[in-house]
Structures are given as structure tokens and as C-alpha cells.
Chain A
């Protein structure tokens, strides 16, 4: 069976700094995998390359058998590859329902389902139905994270890229979001690739981990294998402080648009 996502020899340089260095891996349909790596390992850059927000210097990304080279972000979304951002980026000045409706208007899904009803169903699925008419400005951060995921789901993806879905969440908020991701994977058959730099969250969520450091893939395997992998240990022990959760906002603090 051909993989859903196939990355081969991907490279990206910024003014002398190699952000993504010869990255190759693939993802089978229905898989839930995670990219692990310290800050600055090139994870978000990799996401930006996959979703067309950045153009790669060389290498290829094939999604569902099709080369994504040169396609703009909205077109990649329309092929069924959606993403969320590390910092929640709601559309300011709009209600929760309207935010999700924008995703429902993507050409891929617009004609198959009535956008408003579909947006309501998605809000129901992520547990935000009761806030449908609230302006996004009043949402606590945990709900903004759900909204971020709901908006990506609205575009009807086959592969969902989640950029640090637990960033900015307090300890009590992580578990519900984690459960939501697991549910999406199990019930919708969604293929999910997520980024984290904290091992603990990975252990129970993903079946495969791709570890990155300095833009390279340094290891790949089950979470249990990865924690014992010498290069992963080296990467983390070497920069211990970056595994911690410092510098992140306290739980539940409402934040506006990024």
C-alpha cells in the first residue's frame, strides 16, 4: 500500500541556518505519529514546508500519491491536509461558530454539507457547542485550542497536522485535549501527525515517534524505543531546560489573536 504522506530528502535553509536537513519519512493512512524534538529542531519549519507556508529548497512531499511542490497553502488544505498552529490563531471579531464555518467553506467540503449545520456538528464533536455564539475574544485558552482543532477538522482533512496541541495548556487541560485527539483518530479514522517537545504526552498518544534534532531525523520508532534511543537521550540531556515547560502561559489564561 502506498503511504498517505511521503517525505523525501526535504531541505530548508534560512540565511546560513539549516532548519530542515535531508528529512525523509512516510506516514501510512490511519496512523497516529508524533515528531519529537527540542525547540529549534526544525519541527514547525517542517510543518510549514508540508502545508505550503514555506517553499523547500529541495526534496519532495507526496500526499496521497501527488507531489505537493509549489502548491499554495489553501490548495494543500483542499487536498485533505490540514494543520493547526502552535499559538492559537482564531479569527478575531468573529464568533466561535463563524470561525469554524470558514473551514466548512473550503471547496473540498462546501458542496457536500451545509456549512452551518456541519460547523455545529464539529463544535459538538470537540465539545464547544455551548460556546457557539460567543465571540472568540472571551474564550479561555483551552477552548481556543479546541477551536483551532475544530477549524482544521472543518476542512475535512485526511491528514491532520497538530503543531504542539498542548502548548499553553495547564496540567488539567491536557488530558481532555489528548482524549479528543485519540477520539478523532479512533472514530473518524483520521491520520494524525503531531509535534511535541515533551515526551510524557507522547507516550500514551502516538504509536510512532520521529525524533528530530538540528533539522535532522535522528531516530524513529515506538515511544518506548525512542526514550531508550541514545541519540534522543543525548539531545535531551544536552539541553535539559528545553524539555521543561517554562515560558508558557499559565492555565486557562484567555488570549487574543496571535
Chain B
């Protein structure tokens, strides 16, 4: 059983690594790179919200923080693009503390609403303080992290795989157990000696940090940022990807994000109806498959029994 799962993972990874040998289209490689970035966002969302059960409706806040930090340093100040990675991740992590500390102490929908509000307000601020953020057009003319599209593909794939595996390891560790107990029953977790506020905030910081890295990769892939990186549509798209993958499993959302990001591109002409597709997928999932699709399927194929790591 364990062997089959390991084989499955290796086959998938080998196929992804070999893809650039067969695909010469830079356009297609670019799309796949973006799919991996979505994978980073969905997995990092799932790490905090899926494991602890506190839904984050503004993951785009962290994505945008990473992307704009990178763009500002590279496009406005003139730093080398690689500086964006630590700076963007740190900025996202810092913002997660600002929102997380006041809201995660509380039960109720405050965290979800505050995240949604913060991301939306940040999007407005990029328009209002256009002297620094470039307004509607954002900040164009960024340097790519690597020159060739194939190299960017491997970079995005590499970061995606490393983050996903690292988060899976954390989720399977004692810390993951503590986070899952918070999802199970917050008061009972306290009675078992868990400092629930601390662990929720710590998980949010990790989640934000990874999302920020994804944001930096995205900004340099696009060689530009626009206020859309803060949009509600992006936050919700990510949650929908997690839902499709199977909330709380991490690998399901990782795969769900790659597939859902790819779907509108594969069905030509569907690109502009992307949000329609997602919304309909969401309604289908909510009504007919609340457990998601990918994680349950994967478990059946590989013979795994219960949740957690693959």
C-alpha cells in the first residue's frame, strides 16, 4: 500500500520533470508554470485552513503582498529579482500576523471576514496610492527570475514540489496532529493542553509565507503585477481548487489546483469564462461531492484508508 503510493508519486513527478523534453511550446510551458504556482497557493491555503478548519477568504492578501513586494523591489528600486523571494515571503508572513493575532483569538467568522476585507482593501489601496503601486496598470517591466521558459518551468515545479512535500511532512508530524485537533474541537484541544491561538497563528504564518513565495514567482513569471493579485476572485478560485482536491489532504488541493488552472486553458476559448466554470464546479462540489474529488479517488486507487498524508 505504501509502496503503491510512493510509486504513484514518483511516476507523477517523473512525468512532470520529463514534460519539457516533449513540449517545445513555450506558451504551454508557461501555462504549466502558472498551474504549479496555483498549486503552491492551494496547498498553502489548505495547510492552515484545511488542517485547523479556519477558512481564509483572503489568501490573495498574501499572494499580492509577495507579488507587490517583489515588483516594488525589482521594478521601482532596482534590486536583483531573487531578493524578492525572501522579502515577499517575509512581507506576507508579517501581514498574516497583523490580521491573525486580533482575529484568530476569537471564534466565529471574524477571521474569514477580516481576511476578505483586508485583501479587498489592499486592492483598493493599490489603485489609490498609484504613485507607488502603479495603479490599474500595476508595475510592469520586471526581470524574469530565469531566462528560458523551460528553466522557469523547472523552478516553479521545484518550488511547488518542495513546498508541497514540506507541508505534507509538517501535516504528518506531531504539529499536524495538533492542528487537526483544533479542527476537530477547539475547546477539547485546549483541554488537551493545546495553545490553539498560537498554533492557528503559526499555521497562518507558514501558509502566508508559502503563498508569498508563490506571489513572487507569479510576479516575475508575468514580468508585471496588477491589482488583480489581491482580488476576491483569486482567493475564491483557490478555495474552489482546494474543494475539488479534497480539503485537508494537501496533496488533493495541490493536484486540484494544477488541473483546474489547466482546464480553462485546455478548453480553448473558455479562458474568459474561467470564473463561470469555477463557480459551477463549486456549486456541483458543494451539493454533490462535499469531500472533494481528487483525494478520495487517489485513496481508492492507492488503497489508502484514512486521511492525512498520502
Assess A/B contact in the complex (Cβ within 8 A). yes
Residue numbers in B under 8 Å from A82 (CB-CB): 191, 193
Identify which of residues 79-106 in chain A touch chain B, using a CB-to-CB cut-off of 8 Å. 82-85, 89-95, 98-99, 101-103, 105-106
Number of B residues near A (Cβ < 8 Å) is: 21
Distance to closest chain B CB from A155 (angstroms): 5
In the complex, B279 has a CB within 8 A of chain A: no
Counting residue pairs across A and B whose Cβ atoms lie within 8 Å, the total is 89
Contact A257 B183 (CB under 8 A): no
In the complex, B137 has a CB within 8 A of chain A: no
Contact A151 B192 (CB under 8 A): yes
Write the chain A residue with the least CB distance to B176: A98
Residue numbers in A under 8 Å from B183 (CB-CB): 91-93
Contact A107 B193 (CB under 8 A): yes
Residue numbers in A under 8 Å from B301 (CB-CB): none
In the complex, B196 has a CB within 8 A of chain A: yes
Distance to closest chain A CB from B193 (angstroms): 3
In the complex, A53 has a CB within 8 A of chain B: yes
Contact A91 B188 (CB under 8 A): yes
Distance to closest chain B CB from A156 (angstroms): 9
Distance of A83 Cα from B193 Cα, bound (Å): 10
In the complex, A59 has a CB within 8 A of chain B: no
Write the chain B residue with the least CB distance to A84: B191
In the complex, B177 has a CB within 8 A of chain A: yes
Contact B193 A74 (CB under 8 A): yes
Identify which of residues 92-139 in chain A touch chain B, using a CB-to-CB cut-off of 8 Å. 92-95, 98-99, 101-103, 105-108, 115, 135
- For this complex, 26 residue pairs linking A to B, each with C-beta atoms less than 8 Å apart, are A53-B190, A73-B187, A74-B193, A75-B195, A77-B191, A85-B188, A85-B191, A89-B185, A90-B185, A91-B180, A91-B181, A91-B189, A93-B180, A94-B180, A94-B184, A99-B181, A102-B181, A102-B194, A103-B193, A105-B174, A106-B194, A108-B193, A151-B188, A151-B191, A154-B192, A258-B185
Residue from B177, B195, B196 within 8 A of A101 (CB atoms): B177
In the complex, A60 has a CB within 8 A of chain B: no
Contact A102 B177 (CB under 8 A): yes
Distance to closest chain B CB from A192 (angstroms): 16
Contact B187 A89 (CB under 8 A): yes
In the complex, A72 has a CB within 8 A of chain B: yes
In the complex, B306 has a CB within 8 A of chain A: yes
| Chain B facing A: main interface SS | helix
Q: Which of B177, B187, B188, B307 has the most CB of A within 10 A?
A: B188
Residue numbers in A under 8 Å from B178 (CB-CB): 102, 105
Distance of A155 Cα from B191 Cα, bound (Å): 9
Write the chain B residue with the least CB distance to A103: B192
Distance of A121 Cα from B191 Cα, bound (Å): 20
Known: A77-B192, A103-B192, A107-B193. 8 other contacts (CB 8 A): A74-B190, A74-B193, A74-B194, A85-B188, A91-B184, A94-B181, A102-B178, A106-B192
Number of A residues near B (Cβ < 8 Å) is: 36
In the complex, A19 has a CB within 8 A of chain B: no
Contact B184 A92 (CB under 8 A): yes
Interface residue ranges, B against A (CB under 8 Å): 174, 177-178, 180-181, 183-185, 187-196, 248, 306-307
Contact B192 A257 (CB under 8 A): no
Distance of A186 Cα from B169 Cα, bound (Å): 41
| Chain A facing B: main interface SS | mixed
Residue numbers in A under 8 Å from B191 (CB-CB): 51, 73, 77, 82-85, 89, 151-152
Residue numbers in B under 8 Å from A78 (CB-CB): 193
Identify which of residues 146-165 in chain A touch chain B, using a CB-to-CB cut-off of 8 Å. 151-152, 154-155
Residue numbers in A under 8 Å from B189 (CB-CB): 91, 102
Distance to closest chain A CB from B187 (angstroms): 7
Q: Which of B178, B189, B196, B248 has the most CB of A within 10 A?
A: B189
Write the chain A residue with the least CB distance to B184: A91
Cβ contacts A25-58/B at 8 Å (1 or 0 each) = 0000000000000000000000000010100000
Distance of A135 Cα from B195 Cα, bound (Å): 24
Known: A94-B181, A105-B174. A53 touches B195 (CB 8 A): no
Residue numbers in A under 8 Å from B187 (CB-CB): 53, 73, 85, 89
Residue numbers in B under 8 Å from A53 (CB-CB): 187, 190
Distance of A152 Cα from B174 Cα, bound (Å): 18
Closest CB pairs A-B (n = 4): A91-B184, A106-B193, A77-B193, A89-B188
Contact B195 A72 (CB under 8 A): yes
Distance to closest chain A CB from B178 (angstroms): 6
Residue numbers in A under 8 Å from B177 (CB-CB): 94, 98, 101-102, 105
Cβ contacts A246-258/B at 8 Å (1 or 0 each) = 0000000000011
Residue numbers in B under 8 Å from A83 (CB-CB): 191
Contact B190 A92 (CB under 8 A): no
Distance of A97 Cα from B184 Cα, bound (Å): 14
Distance to closest chain A CB from B171 (angstroms): 12
